[in-house]
Structure 1
Amino acid sequence: MIGILAILSVSAAAGMRIALPLLIIGLLRSDLWSQVPLLAAIPPQVLIGVLTSWSLFELFGSKKLLGQRILQIIQLIFSPLVGGLLAVALVKMANLEMSPLWLIGVIGGLLAFVLKLVQVGWFFRLRGLPIWVICIEDIVCILLVLFAFDAPKNGGLIALMLLWIAIRSSTAWRKWYRQSSQVSELK
């Protein structure tokens, strides 16, 4: 059960940011990204450069509306892949006895995709996310990655709470959409 909570934690982090969780995991480990599928084949120097650059863009570019739009599109496309990679990498790094790995990757990817999809919905509904929400998202993303290794119960519970918030907010978003379409039909 602890392993599942850790997987949910790291996958939820991938649903918020793409490069930042990968960078943190690589820098926390002495073997860098050798246990992360696909990334193990890339030289660590190149990976550090790319992930650092993209993490800085995620941290600073997300504070402006144009940067948010660019990040929303790219993160929506790549969050399922990164969520699956991080879930499988966590299983390998923590030596968890879980199988099949492809199913764990799919679950991690789906959680990351759902969280990102709801965030994109709120982005378009609000016409941009407030800076305070972006700052909280950055902090929670970093905490989820750290909790996945050090306190998987806490990280998993935060991830489940985020999933619950995503489900509740998507329901509210759907109600808003239905009400706006009914108003436009009446006009």
Structure 2
Amino acid sequence: MIGILATLSASAAAGMRIGIPLLIISLLRGINLWSEMPILSRISPPILLGCLISWSLVELLASKRLWGQRFLQLIQLLLSPLVGAIMGLAVAAATETPNWLIVLIGGSLALVLQLVQVGWFYRLRGLPLWAVFLQDILCIALVLFAFDAPWQGGLIALLLLWFAVRSAKQWYDWYRQGRAYLNP
């Protein structure tokens, strides 16, 4: 159970950012961790670390501007399921949970959270700066919770999933009201 909660926490972080969670995990667990991961084991560790640092800086700087948010959301929407699966595997490597289940849960949660973020971006016509800073802080906290306090990190991830479901219902109601207005 703790492994699933740690997976949820790490995957929720991947649903917000891509490079920052991978960089934090590589700094916490050591660069040798990536030699055990299916896709990342083929990349040289110094090159991988350089790419993670560069992409993390791009995420931190570009997310503060509207054009940067648009660019990042396209990349993150495509890569968040993959990164969520990798994060889940990296965190829950020592558990007895089957790898396919960890990959499925991690990738799905990261994709759902990324879709909600994209939805809010288009509904609000850009995320406010305070929300972007909150995402950065929450992303880092979720990665740290995945290692140090998986129970709390998993609960935060489940709260974010609940928020995603509530947002989807709110958007559906908003859409239906708009359609009822157009078709009396």
TM-score (norm 1): 0.94
Deviations, residues 12-53 of structure 1 (Å, cap 9, x unaligned): 001000111111111112324223321122111111111111
Determine if the alignment matches structure 1 residue 27 to structure 2 residue 16: no
Question: 2:7 maps to what in 1?
Answer: 7
Determine if the alignment matches structure 1 residue 120 to structure 2 residue 85: no
Question: 1:108 maps to what in 2?
Answer: 106
- The whole-number CA distance in structure 2 between the counterparts of 1:122 and 1:180 is 17
Question: 2:97 maps to what in 1?
Answer: 98
SS in 2 for 1:98: coil
Cα deviation for residue 108 of structure 1 reads: 0.6
Question: 1:169 maps to what in 2?
Answer: 167
- The whole-number CA distance in structure 2 between the counterparts of 1:175 and 1:150 is 39
SS in 1 for 2:80: helix
SS in 1 for 2:97: coil
Cα deviation for residue 169 of structure 1 reads: 1.1
Question: 1:81 maps to what in 2?
Answer: 82
- Whether contact under 8 Å (1:79, 1:112) holds in the other structure is yes
In structure 2, runs of 5+ residues without a counterpart are none
- The whole-number CA distance in structure 2 between the counterparts of 1:180 and 1:53 is 43
Deviations, residues 64-102 of structure 1 (Å, cap 9, x unaligned): 00000001111011100110111112222xx11111x12
SS in 2 for 1:97: coil
- The whole-number CA distance in structure 2 between the counterparts of 1:178 and 1:121 is 16
Aligned length: 183
Determine if the alignment matches structure 1 residue 144 to structure 2 residue 142: yes
SS in 2 for 1:83: helix
Question: 2:54 maps to what in 1?
Answer: 53
Percent of residue pairs bearing the same amino acid type: 61
In structure 1, runs of 5+ residues without a counterpart are none
TM-score (norm 2): 0.95
Question: 2:68 maps to what in 1?
Answer: 67
Q: Which runs of 4+ in 1 moved over 6 A?
A: none
